[in-house]
Amino acid sequence: MLRMIDEFRGRFADAGMELVAPEVVQTLSEDELVREAPTFDGWIAGDDPASERVLTAAVAGRLRALVKWGVGVDNVDFAAARKLGLKVAHTPGVFGREVADVAMNYVGGLARQTFLIDREIRLNNAWPKPSGISLADKTVALVGFGDIGRQTARRLLAAEMKVVVYDPVAESAGDLPVELATWPQRLGEADFLVFTCPLNASTRGMFNAALLPQLRQGVRVVNVGRGPVIETAALVEALRSGLVHSAALDVFEDEPLPADSPLRTFDRCIFGSHNASNTEDAVRRVSEKAIDILFEFLAAD
């Protein structure tokens, strides 16, 4: 939204409001927010740490409404917001198709090593021809079956893959021919392990060292959910041993990916920049929705 911010200034001006956008790539710090948030009536938050400390300071000032832009809500203390009487909401179910597109791109990229081939040609003047694996008839362990997970399943099924779904709140598969399983049962069947789940107490660190003996040799790992779902040390161990063939990660435990991260040493891996949802169409759609909610909150006062 920040990069398209000028598109929305007219809506705020028409509503008699001033729109202020910080000069930041991804997030402001807690200290910055404690200082700045109390000076605003409304806040559209991205991945900023909207902690109890921040919200307490903000409500003590002018803040009356907060809208979390996007799907993930792990950075916003909703319980604290409600306790403080702050109007709060988010925009669920808005990025399923876009994130699923990237997840499918990663699955294909790991299967055929297309990203590695591109790098070798560009950087080393090479002409590599690695043998890939076909997607048809391969098994995917898909973790998360919300909007993103369901959209990802549709794409995997279109590639004639078998999909086993893990989601404790999914009572049925609906119209999709997938199989529901209980984590971590049947992981040994999976050629691909794809995470599309949110971050919460049950998903944090669910890929860990204790899980490794249950994985199939040569499994490929994709994460378009949240970085802390995968413990980096466990993934590095699995990549070094060859248990995990390769990984495609749009998100990491520490973002941006540190320059000295051992993950950088694995050439067959694909790295993103927490950008799977970022298309002009989706950003425009979600931004308009967030603005609508914010205006409703402020108008109700």
Query: By residue range, what is the domain housing residue 115?
Result: 96-271
CA distance 275 to 291: 21
Same domain membership, residue 249 and residue 199: yes
113 and 30 inside one domain:
no
35 counts as catalytic: no
Q: What is the DSSP string of 111-132?
A: HHTHHHHHHHHHHH--------
Of 70, 141, 80, the closest CA to residue 107 belongs to 141
Residues 102 and 81 both lie in one domain: no
**Could you tell me if 56 and 196 lie in one domain?**
no
Query: Are 8 and 142 within one domain?
Result: no
Q: Is the peptide bond before 228 cis (omega within 30 degrees of 0)?
A: no
pLDDT in tens, the chain (301 residues): 999 999 999 999 999 999 999 988 778 999 999 999 999 999 999 999 999 999 999 999 999 999 999 988 899 999 999 999 999 999 999 999 999 999 999 999 999 999 999 999 999 999 999 999 999 999 999 999 999 999 999 999 999 999 999 999 998 999 999 999 999 999 999 999 999 999 999 999 999 999 999 999 999 999 999 999 999 999 999 999 999 999 999 999 999 999 999 999 999 999 999 999 999 999 999 999 999 999 999 998 7
Residues 61 and 101 in one domain: no
Sign for the CA dihedral angle at 236, 277, 189, 135 comes to negative
Q: Which of 160, 179, 255, 296 is catalytic?
A: 255
Query: According to the model, what pLDDT value does residue 300 have?
Result: 86
**In a shared domain, residues 104 and 248:** yes
Task: Note whether 289 and 256 are same-domain residues.
Answer: no
* In a shared domain, residues 10 and 146: no
> How far apart are alpha carbons 19 and 120 in whole angstroms?
45
Q: CATH number of the domain that 237 lies in?
A: 3.40.50.720
pLDDT for res 27: 87
Which is nearest to 163 in space by CA: 137, 188, 184, 182? 137
Sign of the Cα torsion 271, 277, 281, 284 reads negative
H-helix or E-strand spanning residue 96: helix 96-112
Q: Are residues 44 and 119 part of one domain?
A: no
Taking the C-alpha atoms of residue 117 and residue 114, their distance in angstroms, rounded to an integer, is: 5
Residues 6+ apart with CB under 8 A from 155: 100, 101, 103, 104
Distance CA 228, CA 109 (A): 23
Active site residue 255: yes
Give the tokens for residue 274: 């927490």
274 classed as catalytic: yes
pTM of full prediction above 0.85: yes
Conformational region of residue 12, where left means phi above 0, alpha means psi within -120 to 50, and beta covers everything else: alpha
CA–CA distance, 207 with 209 (Å, rounded to integer): 7
Which DSSP symbol is given to 50?
Answer: B
Q: What tokens appear for 120 in the block?
A: 């070798």
Residues 125 and 267 in one domain: yes
Q: How many domains does the chain have?
A: 2
AA identity, residue 250: D
Find the catalytic residue in 150, 216, 245, 274.
Answer: 274
Instruction: Single out the catalytic residue among 64, 150, 220, 226.
Output: 226
Q: Are residues 193 and 88 in the same domain?
A: no
